[in-house]
Structure 1
Amino acid sequence: MTSHPEFNAKTTGTEAAEAFAKEIKGKNVVITGVSPSGIGASTALAIASQAPATLILASRTQAKLNTVVSDIRKKYPSVLVKPVALDLSSIESIRSAAAEITSIIHRLDILINNAGITLQTRDPVLTPGGITVDLQFFTNHVGPFLLTELLLPTLLTAGSNSPKGDCRIVNVSSHGHRLSPIRFSDYAFESDLYDGVPEDERPPTDLPPGFLQITNGYYGFIGYGQRTIDTGLSRGLDEQGRSTLSGTAPAGIWKSIDQGAATTIVAAFDPKLADDAGDVVDGNWYLADCQFANEKLAAHARDPKCAQRLWDQTEKMLDIVSAL
């Protein structure tokens, strides 16, 4: 249980930030994937309301990023807000963004990997390690992995200077991970969903038809599952895709983006998480609606061998050896 058992699906990010005002004050925070219509912007606004030391917002579209930065500076002029250009589909952009961030701050308390994309068309990408992967997989997993690795020194500095060694990495995911296990044999998503694919890499056979939508041989939703709030994430979907996604809202009711930010803020700042090992899966927490939600994890997401295999493979994709 988190420190606020009364928090639920209706709790807003603003309310959560107020509850953790003491933990937010004076912290250096990086948030990726920030645009006016998204959870990243709502998360940033909520955190800014409680006097962080530095708020660095990293995103791909400069105009949208500037809009959010301008809004925060207007509402909270005492908060130092810095925009950083970041395209998680580009190795060069990731390295450039990490260098800029570390030139601004030497200590990073909270990294919120919020950015993500949803695509319905296949776009193969050759990684530095010579492994071809799907662009959606690269942007939603490989890119954030590299950014986190490059920011580790600043995170470790924060951890070593904290009485509890408390620095955090929050990866914003979704229950969409249950659509498919990791396809270790087919990172580019070129094979059939079931035929010729190892049994432990096949999606469930009882998925609603909408999630099996195919465009030029590419199953976009299954590709997304390698990583239920109405945000700009669905802007790349066609009408059928948006209709499928809209059907995932519990009781047909979408959260507001402020409500969507609440769980991220709990994950980033709730002090009880550092003390409660009872709901940890392989050293990590999985939260939904501001509470522990391990029961909603797919089997492959609970499997430490699967996690280690993905970690090792991601290192090979990037041609690096992680400092962790």
Structure 2
Amino acid sequence: MSTGPTFSFATTADEVAAAFAAEIKGKNILVTGTSLKGIGFETARAMAKYANRVIITGYNAERLKLSEEAIKKEIPQANIYPLVLDLSSFASVRKAAAEINAQPEPLHVLINNAASSFVDFKLTVDGLETQLATDHVGPFLLTKLLAPKLLASATPMYTPRVVFVSSPAEGFGTGVDFDALEHPDPAKYSKQLAYGQAKSANVLTAIELSKRSKGKINAYSLSPGLIFTNILEKEDSIPTLQSIGILGEDKKPNTEHPWKTLPQGAATTIAAAFDPRLNDKPGAYLDDSTVANHLIAPHSSDPAKAEKLWNITEKIIGEAFVF
């Protein structure tokens, strides 16, 4: 990457936001999954100091209100717009997108941060497995529906961005099981592998979105690092996290792994959303706020898999994603 601020494992969201304050100024941003004690909240909070408008989302209106109040308490001038959104429901995604599309303001950045992680097998109202629906299909549909709003923000000097928060779990297993995506089977289900498939899908979608938009939208994916968020405190997730060595028997973080704080965990998302050095690197994968394409598993960077995933996801949502 060209000269500019240098980031590391320890860099915080506030530090990255301050470094790119000029880029964030005047921008309207939507961040999914912004509950307190999560990296989406920390991402929104750090950007709210400089942004024109930050749309925060969550499926629980009461928790969404708490996030809004917490940001405004710290940053009274912040322009926060709460949006109820359940990514596991096509109807909810369509309703939320329609609400944003009906507003006059353009949308400069969409950050697909929300995730369902390591949960028991359950079908959504649309007949999909919950993790793949919430982490991949829902965000794909949301991005598709908001694409016109994103494209409207483009100028000769600015290309809108879409950010997918992935995870090192994108390397789990052999990548997306396309049959399981279309035809969920509880007998073949693994919490760990399903999460890995969803995170692999995030990386593949960023690559394919950048390719298909032909320069009209720049998409990026990233690893936020290992962070003790509210996801790791969910009872149905704990046994799986213990089995793969993330949590110890005491349900506390395994200190053999390098853990980030919430502010450190949200830093890379903001870099992906605003670092101007990424303008000529569409589809890139970031780690520690820096391009790290070498870390992606082969099954998460395969162009053929990216194209196949895109086509199957269009089939699932029942409409084509056109630019």
Q: Provide TM-score, normalisation by structure 1.
A: 0.83
Measured after TM superposition, the shift of residue 293 of structure 1 is 1.0
User: For residues 125 and 41 of structure 1, do their structure 2 counterparts lie closer, same or farther at Cα, with a shift above 3 Å needed?
Assistant: closer
The answer to whether 1:262 aligns with 2:260 is no
Partner of 1:29: helix, strand, or coil? strand
CA contact (8 A) 2:55 2:80 kept: yes
Moved over 4 A (4+): 2-5, 247-251
List alignment gaps of at least 5 residues for structure 1.
193-216, 278-282
Aligned 1:252-291 pairs, distance under 5 A: 252-274=257-279, 276-277=280-281, 283-291=282-290
Query: How do 1:205-224 and structure 2 match up within 5 A?
Result: 218-224=189-195
Q: 1:78 to 1:191 in 2, by over 3 A?
A: closer
| Aligned match of 2:162 | 169
Check whether the contact 2:12–2:265 (CA below 8 A) recurs between aligned residues: yes
Query: Is 1:19–2:14 an aligned residue pair?
Result: no
Separation (CA, whole Å) in 2 of partners of 1:36 and 1:3: 34
1:238–1:88 distance in 2 versus 1, CA, 3 Å: closer
Deviation at 1:5, TM superposition (A): 5.9
Deviation at 1:305, TM superposition (A): 0.9
| Distance in structure 2 (CA, Å) of the matches to 1:18 and 1:250 | 30
Q: Deviations over 1:17-61 (max 9, x none)?
A: 0000000111000000010010011001100122x1111101112
CA contact (8 A) 1:2 1:292 kept: no
Cα shift at 1:125: 4.0
Aligned to 1:156: 151
SS in 1 for 2:111: strand
Mapped partners of 1:191, 1:290: distance in 2: 37
Q: Contact 2:232–2:238 at 8 Å: present in 1 too?
A: no
Hey, what does 1:56 align to over in structure 2? 55
Q: Which has the larger radius of gyration?
A: 1
Q: Which residue in the other structure is 2:33 paired with? A: 33
- For the residue of structure 2 that corresponds to 1:10, the secondary structure is coil
User: CA-to-partner distance for each residue in 1:282-316, whole Å, 9 max, x for gaps?
Assistant: x4010011111111101111111110000000000
Q: 1:221 to 1:53 in 2, by over 3 A?
A: same
2:179 — aligned with what? 185
C-alpha separation in 2, matches of 1:296 and 1:249: 22
Q: Is 1:229 matched with 2:223?
A: no
C-alpha separation between the residues in 2 aligned to 1:104 and 1:249?
46
Q: SS where residue 89 of structure 1 aligns? A: coil
Q: Report what 1:206 is aligned to.
A: none
Residue range with higher mean Cα deviation, 240-249 or 68-77 = 240-249
Query: Which TM-score applies when normalising by structure 2?
Result: 0.83
Distance across 1 between alignment mates of 2:94 and 2:33 = 16
Is residue 118–residue 240 contact of structure 2 (8 Å, CA) maintained in 1? no
Counterpart secondary structure, 1:185: helix
Offset at residue 90 of structure 1 (A)? 0.7
Local SS of the residue matching 2:29: strand
8 Å CA contact 2:191, 2:240 repeated in 1: no
Distance 1:191 1:94, change over 3 A: closer
- State the shift of 1:124 in Å: 2.9
Measured after TM superposition, the shift of residue 126 of structure 1 is 6.8
Answer whether contact 1:115 1:140 (CA < 8 A) is retained. Answer: yes
Q: Secondary structure of 2:7's partner?
A: coil
CA distance in 1, matches of 2:57, 2:42: 14
Q: What is the distance in 2 between the residues matched to 1:74 and 1:12?
A: 20
CA gap of 1:182–1:219, structure 2 versus 1, over 3 A, is same
Between the aligned residues of both structures, percent identity stands at: 38
Count of equivalent residues? 287
2-structure distance, mates of 1:74, 1:138:
34
Compared CA separation, residues 69 and 141, structure 1 to 2 (3 A): same
Question: Which secondary structure state, in structure 2, belongs to the residue aligned with residue 83 of structure 1?
Answer: strand
Alignment of 1:76 with 2:75, yes or no, is yes
- Return closer, same or farther for 1:75/1:182 CA change in 2, 3 Å cut-off: same
Q: C-alpha separation between the residues in 2 aligned to 1:186 and 1:102?
A: 32
Matched AA of 1:35? S
